Amino acid sequence: MKILYSLTVFLFLNFIYLLPTNAQVLNASFEDWSGNNPTAWTTIDSGISLNQEGALKKDGSYSARITVNTPTQSNTDFLQTITVNPGQTYTFSAWVYHTEGGVRARLYVDGYRNYSNPSQLNQWQQLTFEYTPSSSNIEVGFRFYDVSGFDGSEVVYIDNFEPATSSGGGGGDTGGGCTDVALTLTADNYASETSWVIKDANGTTLHSGSNYSNNTTYNEIFCLDDGNYSFVINDSYGDGICCSYGNGSYSLTSEGNTLGSGGAFSSSETVNFTIGSSDPGNGGGGDYYNSASGLSGYALKTELHNIIKGHNSQGYNAIWTFYSANELDYYYENDGTILDIYSEKPGGSDSYSYTKSSDQCGNYSGEGSCYNREHSFPRSWFGGTVEPMNSDVHHIFATDGYVNSKRASYPYGEVSSASYVSSNGSKLGSSVSGYNGTVFEPIDEFKGDLARAAFYMATRYQNVIAGWENNSSYSDAILDGSSNKVFENWTLDLLISWHNNDPVSAKEIARNEAAFAHQGNRNPFVDHPEYVSSIWGSGSSARTLNETSFTTSYEQEQLTVEHGITDPVNVVVFDASGRKLIEYTSEADQSPVTELSVLLEPNSLYIVKVFTKDKMMSKKLVIME
């Protein structure tokens, strides 16, 4: 019996020994302190000092308040040693909160890894790193780096250092086995009513949030494996987070693409998204238009209708939120004001500008009073406030309220004699030819945008548009009563001309991506401008998008773009939000390599676009350290 007992104990102890070791950061939420030192954190360099912080924390009762007192990076380590199982993959994460922006925090996991973004002030951001250790003991923690603006002493807060075991092998950063998804949430005046979850395809809750403070912005980052997910945001009172009691909003993004955004909903709103599939746009680079491959004429149009029909209408009020997130000027003045197509002056200073949300109409007495929602395909043409047409953002643009009222429900056209001219040159007056009535003519910069919106309407609503001809005298002037050709000859000729002469721009591409995230369908004529000629003939822009036709390199704040083009070229760099950082334009023949002096932050996503007279190329760029 004694031998059996001893054998049992021996086997039990060996079983315990052979169990996988789970990485466990001790005192990871900084709840336990001895004086000014958090317990278990054994390396605290002389260049930093610590204090227990109870007011500003991510979770729990406390966080660590770290004061960086030196620009000497090697004197700022904050570490502890943990036990891990060699060969097992772990995901390490921690939260960082910046107050001034003169210091970067760098995650340490058996080596120096990802940086925080010091420009994200007064909000929590998460750093993650997936790693497969080769030894049983590793160090984890942070090192702090001074950046421009460091004044010799700066406070950074950290909290919730959480390793989590994951399957599989290999090592690398979060881009290796999963994809970062970022949530930006701005609470309204009643933040306690707001909560959200992210669920996988099986309905399992992976991430969630609640207990927010009023009128405060939060940032969360998750690393998700390839698959299908749903983001659900809830408001317990049933009035959403915008715009009755504050201007709350949310935005869910990944790799520079907006997966979903909004704020004006009732009790809840759901965004379904996929990680790991190809971008459906990119001029045919994904599988969104696969079923239309090889088709032409009205057969192509019908298949495009089948692809884009059945989008998720978000309601008319949600357009305000869409504008606040996506209808902003990062292309002309680059000032983040509302991009109003009836007042924007591409070649000079605008006569007035609008601040998102606060300058919504409202009453107006003239130009410059407020902005509103312009149905480029007027409501009266499709029968009034009928969904989903009434809230379809693909044809509804932000415009000055007064100029919008001048346009009224008149068709777009070219003016021979103007009775009214807006501050940017948009005109109302008699038509040049093809139609004897009054028309409204936008400036050349936006004619292609509006033409492609009209082609979208003809395709998306192919199943009902034949019945719209007699809804008003103006719809009768535009529409021919068919479901295939749709437009009268004079309108079709005009739209094709505008489409050809004003090709798809970076602004339009970004708006199409945002609309896809907002309501779940795309404008095919932005993704594939050549579809216009394939369906309606008369020649069309063959402007294409190629993701791999040029290379980039970055060193010492110098971006080299090797595009191989010696004709006039336009090179533009955008950050992940669509903000234009720098633009280079050559009107004459030039070198096939363009050099740009620009400061790009490490571990951040950028988009480089190269434009020529007949082509647009795009490439994603991440600067790694």
pLDDT of residue 171: 32
Residue 270, pLDDT > 90, answer: no
pLDDT for res 6: 44
Measured CA distances, 266 to 145, 317, 332 (Å): 44, 11, 35
> Domain extents for the chain?
22-168, 178-275, 296-536, 544-622
Digit-coded pLDDT (tens) for 554-564: 888 888 888 88
> Which positions ≥6 away from 473 have C-beta within 8 Å?
none
Output the 3-class SS for 273-335.
EEECCCCCCCCCCCCCCHHHCCCCHHHHHHHHHHHHCCCCCCCCCHHHHHHHHHCECCCCCCC
Is pLDDT above 90 for 25?
A: no
How sure is the predictor about 304, in pLDDT bands with cuts at 50, 70 and 90? very high
Q: Do domains 178-275 and 544-622 have the same CATH topology?
A: no
Please choose, from the candidates 78, 156, 161, 151, the residue with its C-alpha nearest in 3D space to the C-alpha of residue 120: 156
Residue 199 CA to residue 156 CA, distance in Å, equals 32
Average pLDDT over residues 488-504: 91
Which of the pair, 616 or 573, is modelled with greater confidence? 573
Per-residue pLDDT band at 579 (split at 50, 70, 90): low
C-beta of residue 235 within 8 angstroms of C-beta of residue 247:
no
Share of the chain above pLDDT 90, in %: 38
Going by pLDDT thresholds of 50, 70 and 90, the confidence category of residue 281 is very low
Looking at 29-43, 222-236, 337-351, 495-509, which range is the least confident one?
A: 222-236
Do 48 and 76 form a contact (C-beta atoms < 8 A)?
yes
CA distance 212 to 187: 7
Higher local confidence (pLDDT), 261 or 616: 261
Q: What mean pLDDT do residues 584-609 have?
A: 76
Is the per-residue pLDDT at 370 higher than 90?
Answer: yes
The residues, any chain, with a CB within 8 Å of residue 623's CB and separated by 6 or more, are 554, 600, 601, 602, 603, 604, 606
Mean pLDDT, residues 553-578 taken together: 78
pLDDT of the residue at 406 = 97
The whole-number pLDDT of residue 18 equals 39
If you average pLDDT over residues 45-69, what whole number do you get? 89
Phi–psi pair at 404, nearest 5 degrees: -60, -40
Element (DSSP H or E) covering residue 502: none
pLDDT over 50 (residue 170): no
Most confident of the ranges 125-134, 281-290, 353-362, 583-592: 353-362
Given a cut of 80, is residue 265 above it in pLDDT?
A: no
Provide the pLDDT confidence category of residue 278 given band limits of 50, 70 and 90: very low
Among the residue ranges 48-57, 163-172, 185-194, 206-215, the one predicted with the least confidence is: 163-172
If one looks up domain 178-275 in CATH, what number appears? 2.60.120
- Please identify, in words, the CATH class of the domain defined by 22-168: mainly beta
Q: How confident is the model at residue 541 (pLDDT cuts 50, 70, 90)?
A: very low
Q: Please give the pLDDT value at position 465.
A: 97
pLDDT surpasses 90 at 460: yes
Q: Please give the CATH number for the structural domain made up of 544-622.
A: 2.60.40.10
State the average pLDDT for the chain. Answer: 83
pLDDT, position 454:
98
Task: Give yes or no for residue 207 having a pLDDT over 90.
Answer: no
